[in-house]
Amino acid sequence: MDPNLLYWKSQGQSFVSRLRIWFNLLDPTSLFSSNVEIQKAHARVGRGGKLNGEDRHALNLALSSVHADSGAVLPMVFRPPAFLSVSAPLVVASFLPHSSVKAALFWQFLLQSYNAGFNHTNRNSSSEKGTKTSMRQLVLIAGTVSYSTCAGALPQILINRLNVRTIPLQNFFRFILPVPLSAGLAFFNVVTVRNEESEAGIKVFDSNGNTVGISKLAGEKAVRETALSRAALFGTTAAVPQLLVSLLQKTRPFQRSSLMIAPLRHMSVALIFGLMIPVSFSLFPQLGTIKKENVEEELRAAAVDGHLFYHRGL
User: How high is the mean pLDDT of the chain?
Assistant: 89
Check pLDDT > 90 for residue 131: no
Fill in the amino acid letter for 286: Q
pLDDT tens, residue by residue, 137-190: 889 999 999 999 999 999 999 999 888 889 888 889 988 999 999 999 999 999
Check pLDDT > 90 for residue 121: yes
Rounded Cα gap, residues 91 and 108, in angstroms: 9
Cβ–Cβ under 8 Å, residues 278 and 22: yes
Length of the chain: 314
Rounded Cα gap, residues 102 and 289, in angstroms: 44
Segment 124-135 shows an average pLDDT of: 73
| DSSP state for residue 78 in the 8-state scheme | G
282/174: higher pLDDT: 282
Cβ–Cβ under 8 Å, residues 231 and 186: yes
Predicted model pTM: 0.92
Confidence (pLDDT) at 165 = 86
CA dihedral 293, 299, 305, 311 (to 10 degrees): -90
Of the given ranges (23-27, 140-144, 259-263), which has the lowest mean pLDDT?
259-263
pLDDT tens, residue by residue, 42-73: 888 877 655 555 678 888 999 999 999 888 99
Check pLDDT > 60 for residue 286: yes
Segment 98-126 shows an average pLDDT of: 94
Cβ–Cβ under 8 Å, residues 204 and 294: no
Burial annotation 36-69 (CB, 10 A radius, 16+ → b, else e): eebbebbebbeeeeeeeeebebbbbbbbbbbbbb
- Alpha helices, DSSP H only, in the chain? 3-11, 15-25, 35-46, 53-65, 80-94, 101-121, 135-152, 154-161, 167-171, 178-193, 195-200, 216-248, 252-256, 261-282
Q: Which residues contact 206 (CB under 8 A, 6 or more apart)?
A: 212, 302, 303, 304, 308, 309
Check pLDDT > 70 for residue 204: yes
Per-residue confidence at 92, pLDDT binned at 50, 70, 90? very high
Query: Which among 57, 58, 56 has a CA at the least distance from the CA of 43?
Result: 58
Per-residue confidence at 306, pLDDT binned at 50, 70, 90? confident
Confidence (pLDDT) at 156 = 92
Confidence (pLDDT) at 255 = 65
